[in-house]
Amino acid sequence: MLAFTLKRLGLAVLVTLTVSLLSFSLLFMSGDPASAIAGENASASDVDAIRALYGFDRPFLVQYGDWLTSALRGDFGQSYYFKMPVSELIADRLSITMLLGVCGISFALLTAVPLGVAAAMRPNTLIDRTALFISVMGQAMPSFWFGLVLIVIFSIRLNWLPPSGSNGWQNFIMPTVVLGYYAMPAIMRLTRAGMLEVLGADYIRTARAKGASEMRVMFKHALRNAVVPVVSLAAVQMGFMLGGSIVVESIFALHGAGYLAWESIARNDLPTVQALILIFSLFYIVFTFLSDLANAWLDPRIRVG
Amino acid sequence: MSDPILSVHDLTIDIPMGQGTMHAVRGIGFDLKRGETLCIVGESGSGKSLTSLAIMGLLPKNLKRAASRLEFARIDLQHQKPRQMRDLRGNRMAMIFQEPMTSLNPAYTIGDQLEEAYLLHNKTGRAEARARAVALLGKVGITAAESRLSQYPHQLSGGLRQRVMIAMALMCAPELIIADEPTTALDVTIQAQILRLLADLQREMNMAMILVTHDLGVVARIADKVAVMYAGEVVEQGTAQEIFRHPRHPYTRGLLRCIPVPGKTKPGEHLGSIPGIVPSLIGRMEGCAFRTRCDVAEAACASAVPERHTETGHAWRCIHENEGHENEGRVPA
Ligand SMILES: Nc1ncnc2c1ncn2[C@@H]1O[C@H](COP(=O)(O)OP(=O)(O)O)[C@@H](O)[C@H]1O
Ligand code: SF4
Ligand SMILES: [Mg+2]
């Protein structure tokens, strides 16, 4: 298990370095950063002054090294637009996004896994069809539309929940449902397919031959084996939610990191964009790493050679 | 002790299919006493596994089981609630399957799975279950049993896994054990060891055993009774003596003729091959199912075939009372 963990950790570090290099190069791919900062009407000497001030005249690798060492210390420079340290700017927004992500993936898992198991236990019955219907709905409905429907019903008509803002827990209910429902169908169908496959396995028959109850067969013997690919999928979904909840954050005016990314891209605020790309990628890397560990724990064939 | 531990009468298993119903097992029956070994032989697809699963109550849900009598230790298995069947399974009746490589759960240790078999039926602590597991692993010939408990199935060879499966089946000291081709998936050298082990344990623990096997040499050595299955029917059954010395049914004779004999069987001669095709079991079945391959078939074989038996219980289904080939069959080496 230790060797496995170290191997995966090494891989994660390698991917992180590659991603950091890419996100740093972004600065130079979008043209001359000095003129971007100076603005359209700046004189050539102003641009030169800015270039010297930010150190854009130094060799690329030196700048990258600088940026990376600062980033490791949590210093991503100044935001061009917000005129404040990027790290402070992000820290605030990130806590909202992370909370939303955790709620979203929990909602997705808590609905998708039981529904998938139930569907697999009674294939082609009403339960199965209902589960399929729910999942197809989730896939067919665009998040922004579903979000608006919820706002119309629960905020405007019933006046139960606030339509926007991020002041209290009530603000997170609808965004959680919208975000979670988006991730739910894939998890549900993977759980169902995995369970159906596993339920046909010989060791399930062995468990029944021992006299195990149906619940024990389902949850102890089947689900443990069926859930391995689900963990990997959930990790990717989680990374996606933390980086890509732009739509949901916009509808509900939750000013999180996704919303910030959209703002920064629109305003050419490169240090913020760089930092966000690095952080979003880090989320993916960390979740993939964690899901690898979880799978190794679930499936001894991965961890014990 | 002449009361049978297992009594199967007129067992039928129907499988609904798109094109109609498949009559996979049709009216078979046998009785088994405590400590007796019944060997079921017959080519693949003849319904041996379905019969085993039907006794255990493990048939897939879409299959239909019916019998005029299906009793284990005087318990009517046809009228047991699921929970009552669970109390019997793994406890008083146990089964060993054909596929040792896939019959153990890859996610749990050998120890977990052995202990589970015990704890499901005994209200004791894990320590006792563990001690029982170690003892049984030793009994099935696994060395360093203690250290095996923490291993996972994928770390063991096929032969070892089947030994573990046997140990697991024996955890609650069952009165009946059903072994469905327990060695077919294993190396030839290991097959003999495993079968000898099963036979020894059966005798030692005084269990009734149903052994499904292709190995007629093994049958000759360990069977008290033999049932020969063909296309969903028991075409002949009797004591091992009777079956080997006086086989009556043409199919049984064919099987016995196919045993390789040192010095007589030519190299390359195919084993167990009786020419002809097995009939479809879908739809209405009439007459003797073996008539497409039987070399003494007559027109009468297409209608109802009488069941014949001697006073000793040797029974077979054929239009011929006795073909007069007494003593033609031989006991294989
Ligand atoms: N679950 C099932 N669904 C459909 N057909 C089955 C099923 N199980 C077994 N059969 C069919 O029933 C027949 C008898 O099968 P089986 O008892 O496994 O034979 P054996 O063990 O003697 O080789 C075979 O033709 C097989 O294809
Ligand atoms: S009944 Fe007819 S076909 Fe069937 S085994 Fe006897 S002789 Fe052969
Ligand atoms: Mg079989």
pLDDT tens for A121-142 read 998 899 999 999 999 998 888 8
Winning range, highest mean pLDDT, from A21-35, A89-103, B197-211, B286-300: B197-211
Reference B22, options B69, B58, B63, B67; nearest CA is: B63
CA distance to partner chain A, nearest, from residue B227 (Å): 24
pLDDT tens for A168-181 read 888 889 999 999 99
Q: Hey, are the CB atoms on A211 and B87 less than 8 Å from each other? A: yes
Chain B residues within an 8 Å CB radius of A301: 106, 152, 154
Instruction: Give ranges for CATH 3.40.50.300 in chain B.
Output: 6-92+174-327
Average pLDDT in chain B: 89
Average pLDDT in chain A: 88
Q: Which helix (H) or strand (E) holds B71?
A: strand B69-72
Q: What is the pLDDT of residue B329?
A: 46
Q: What is the CATH number of domain B6-92+174-327?
A: 3.40.50.300
Using the predicted structure, report yes or no on whether residue A44 has a pLDDT greater than 60: yes
Rg over CA atoms, chain A: 24
**What single-letter DSSP state applies at residue B204?**
H
Indicate the top mutation candidate among B234, B291, B316 to test ligand 2's pocket, ranked by most ligand atoms within 8 A of CB: B291
φ, ψ dihedrals at B251, nearest 5°:
-70, -45
B231 — alpha (psi -120 to 50), left (phi > 0) or beta? left
Rg over CA atoms, chain B: 21
pLDDT tens for B161-208 read 999 999 999 999 999 999 999 998 888 888 888 899 999 999 999 999
Q: What are the strands of the beta sheet with B176-180, ordered from one edge?
A: B93-96, B176-180, B208-212, B37-41, B225-230, B233-239, B315-317, B307-309
Reference A80, options A38, A26, A49; nearest CA is: A38
Q: Please list, in sequence order, all residues whose beta carbon lies within 8 angstroms of the beta carbon of residue B277, skipping any fewer than 6 positions away.
A: B292, B293
Domain spans in chain A, listed from the N-terminal domain onward: 2-72, 91-303
Q: CA B111 to CA B119: how far, in whole Å?
A: 12
How many Cβ atoms are within 10 Å of B265's Cβ, its own excluded? 12
Q: Six-digit token pair at B301?
A: 């074989």
Give residue B324 CA to ligand 2 midpoint distance, Å: 14
Residues across chain B:
333
Q: What is the pLDDT of residue B262?
A: 62
**What single-letter DSSP state applies at residue B258?**
T
pLDDT tens for B52-107 read 999 999 999 999 999 999 999 999 999 999 999 999 999 999 999 999 999 999 99
In this prediction the pTM is 0.85
Q: Which helix (H) or strand (E) holds B240?
A: helix B240-245
Chain A residues at the B interface, defined by Cβ less than 8 Å, are 201-203, 205-214, 221, 224-225, 298-301, 304
Give residue B119 CA to ligand 3 midpoint distance, Å: 29
Mean local confidence (pLDDT), B261-286: 69
Reference B237, options B29, B66, B34, B56; nearest CA is: B29
CA distance to partner chain B, nearest, from residue A114 (Å): 20
Q: How does DSSP assign chain A, residue by residue?
A: -HHHHHHHHHHHHHHHHHHHHHHHHHHHHTS-HHHHHH-TT--HHHHHHHHHHHTTTS-HHHHHHHHHHHHHTT---B-TTT-SBHHHHHHHHHHHHHHHHHHHHHHHHHHHHHHHHHHHHSTTSHHHHHHHHHHHHHHHS-HHHHHHHHIIIIIIIS--S-SS-SSSTHHHHHHHHHHHHHHHHHHHHHHHHHHHHHHTSHHHHHHHHHT--HHHIIIIIIHHHHTHHHHHHHHHHHHHHHHHTHHHHHHTT---HHHHHHHHHHTT-HHHHHHHHHHHHHHHHHHHHHHHHHHHHH-HHHH--
Q: Hey, are the CB atoms on A301 and B154 less than 8 Å from each other? A: yes
ipTM of the complex: 0.90
Helix (H, G, I), strand (E, B) or coil at B235: strand
Give residue B289 CA to ligand 2 midpoint distance, Å: 8
Helix (H, G, I), strand (E, B) or coil at B91: coil
Which residue from A minimizes the CA distance to B172?
A: A210
Question: In which band, very low, low, confident or very high, does the pLDDT at B266 lie, cut at 50, 70 and 90?
Answer: low
CA distance to partner chain B, nearest, from residue A213 (Å): 7
Amino acid at B115: E
Using the predicted structure, report yes or no on whether residue B268 has a pLDDT greater than 70: no
**What CA–CA distances, in Å, run from B191 to A20, A69, B4, B163?**
59, 65, 30, 11
Q: Mutate which of A199, A203, A297 to disrupt the B interface (most B C-beta within 10 Å)? A: A203
pLDDT tens for A52-99 read 887 787 888 888 888 888 888 888 888 888 889 999 999 888 888 999
Q: Hey, are the CB atoms on B102 and A202 less than 8 Å from each other? A: yes
Which residue from B minimizes the CA distance to A305?
A: B155
Residues across chain A:
305
Q: Six-digit token pair at B224?
A: 């008290």
Q: Mutate which of B50, B103, B178 to disrupt the A interface (most A C-beta within 10 Å)? A: B103
**% of chain B with per-residue pLDDT over 90:** 70
Enumerate residues lining ligand 2, CB below 6 A: B 249-250, 288, 290-291, 294, 296-297, 301, 305, 318-320
Least confident of A50-64, A223-237, B93-107, B305-319: A50-64
CA distance to partner chain B, nearest, from residue A294 (Å): 13
CATH architecture of A91-303: Orthogonal Bundle (1.10)
Atom of ligand 2 nearest to the CA of B235: 5
Amino acid at B280: S
